[in-house]
Amino acid sequence: MYKAVQYTIIPTDPASSSSETLRTMRTDKAIGTSETSEVLVPAVEDPEPKATFFVYMLVICVCIGGFLFGYDTGGKVFSPAKPVMLIDLELVISGALQPLQNDFHLSNVQKELVVGGTTFGAIFGGFSAGLLSDKIGRKLLVIVSSVIFIAGALLLALAPNFAVLLVGRLVVGLGVGMASMIVPVYVSELSPKHIRGRLTTLNTLVITFGQVIAYVMNIAFANVHDGWRYMFGIAGIPALLQFIIMPFLPESPRRLIVIGKVDQAKTTLRKIYGSSVSDKFIDKEVSVIQEEIDVSRSSSFKDFLHRDNLKPLIIACVLQAAQQFSGFNTAMYYAATILHMAGFRDNSNSTSVAIIVALTNMVFTAIAVSVIDRAGRRRMLIVTMLTMIAGLIALGATFAAQQGFIPAQPSCSAYASHCSRCVLDERCGWSASQDTCILSTGHEDDIYQSPTGCPPRGNDSAITGILLTSLIVYVASYALGLGYAPWLIQSEIFSMSLRGKANGISTAVNWICNLIISTTFLSMSDAMTTAGTFWFYAGLSFIFWVLVFFLVPETARKSLEEVNASFK
């Protein structure tokens, strides 16, 4: 007998499970009977979410703040208007400071205030941004930072005297500090989790690009009348562009949910993911964010005393301190001075090599952008910090081979036969007739003239090659790890209610450490020698590596809510 058997599959509610319970009905038409049974089959899930072109354009527009950050710090690298061998702490503000000296007749104290003004402003800018971001939102704070930067750039470009110049430096620092805190947070909250590392690290890439442009501007305006005004004023152009664009960009969906604008948050998420996800996926994202917000409504500073919040704060502050105490910004601020220490006395040569250092930083940051989400934050940090430490040790060893371990001496004659150390002291020079270290003032005709300031030695080329190689390894390793990781990780690990305040605190820690390290390098070099200073940085970096190894979790490919939940 012929039998026709029909199976009907009826789905039940799958909302509470990752699999769907399906009811199968077997109907035997020949005998008119049927039976029903239930089986468990995998649910059909959304494919891998894909970010739209809109996200990338949004992030690029927001990261203009990173460019301003980089342009300002990059502008402190060298002084093409003054011979490299005379560059000192008071001259690290770049090619602008020597013309400023000519126009305003700055005292040494005034020079130091001009140099440090931006960093002081950034300390307060970073901390205040943490407080304001939870009150006025991420988007509006980016706009505020761009307005502040425009105002600072105008004050600097039009400054008629030292007082206005100093105010301009403080105002620019305020804007830079705000941008350094809010941009990573804003980008992190807008980014899909599978590319969040790439998009947030893009901000660091833009920072390095800004540093390279600062080199170019220094060269372009080195011999232009009032060129320093153009150098400062040009920085206002990208800030103005950001100010014009930002009102058309959306607020962070997480911020929108906090203030009750759930429908706008869904619209923003749809723009981020496009048609790659279903409405169900969007609803689930909103639900997860809402749940995390409901759990952590309180946002008092006392909440940091709770272990769930204290540990992420410690991690963020450790990472920011590690970034600065690795000595990298010293290497950037004092690139020309370090190259002078290495034997480059010719200004054009030192400038060319310093640009190579900045380009190395940018290129390897670009590599980090492409691999960070696959390799993971923790793994990249652990590996690259060890390589960076090796670079610091090699730098110290090279300087030790060249200069020995002779600290600054009270008189030129005390350097005796150590020419490499003698010529680092701007009071001194190497006597061509006496073959010893002498006071250069009054004996200019007797000072040995060569690219290094010393008689040639057979190992000069080898030492210079090793030093540059070590410097490149150090810079590349930093760019692949500590250059971006502190900003990325601190934007990921805090609950929504404390994210602003916590990022403000850790950003302030970064700028405080920046101030400490940048104002002590030359003094440490005099007291401990250049080799000892780099070895000191290596020792500090190893201590921070141990802390990173035991404290920092992996955050790659996790939602911000999943990352925060891992601390509970």
User: In the CATH scheme, what architecture does the domain 53-249+296-403+461-565 have?
Assistant: Up-down Bundle (1.20)
- The predicted-structure confidence for 148-173, as pLDDT tens digits, reads as follows 999 999 999 999 998 999 999 999 99
- For residues 125 and 178, is the Cβ–Cβ distance under 8 A? yes
Q: Which of the residue ranges 13-17, 110-114, 313-317, 471-475 has the most confident prediction, judged by mean pLDDT?
A: 313-317
Looking at residue 83, the DSSP 8-state letter turns out to be: -
Mean pLDDT of 72-79: 52
CA dist 317 → 57, 321, 388, 465, 544 (Å): 30, 6, 20, 36, 11
Least confident among 100-104, 197-201, 402-406, 504-508 = 100-104
Element of type H or E holding 547: helix 499-551
Least confident among 19-23, 42-46, 283-287 = 19-23
- For residues 174 and 125, is the Cβ–Cβ distance under 8 A? yes
Report which of residues 323 and 561 the model is more confident about.
Answer: 323
- As a whole number of angstroms, the distance between CA 561 and CA 396 comes to 43
Least confident among 48-52, 249-253, 324-328, 361-365 = 48-52
pLDDT at 339: 64
pLDDT at 46: 54
For the chain, the domains span: 5-42, 53-249+296-403+461-565, 252-295
Q: Which of the residue ranges 144-148, 220-224, 302-306, 557-561 has the most confident prediction, judged by mean pLDDT?
A: 144-148
pLDDT at 202: 92
Q: Work out the pLDDT band at 434, boundaries 50, 70, 90.
A: confident
Q: What secondary structure does DSSP assign to 465-523, as a single string?
A: HHHHHHHHHHHHHHHHTTTTHHHHHHTTSS-TTTHHHHHHHHHHHHHHHHHHHHHHHHH
pLDDT at 440: 86
Least confident among 109-118, 192-201, 205-214, 222-231 = 109-118
Report which of residues 40 and 358 the model is more confident about.
Answer: 358
| Average pLDDT score, the chain | 82
Predicted TM-score of the model (pTM): 0.81
Portion of the chain with pLDDT greater than 90, in percent: 41
pLDDT at 492 > cutoff 60: yes
- For residues 332 and 73, is the Cβ–Cβ distance under 8 A? yes
Mean pLDDT of 504-527: 88
Mean pLDDT of 310-327: 96
Q: What secondary structure does DSSP assign to 411-429, as a single string?
A: SGGGGTT-HHHHTTSTTEE
State the distance between the two ends of the chain, measured CA to CA, in whole angstroms: 66
pLDDT at 476 > cutoff 80: yes
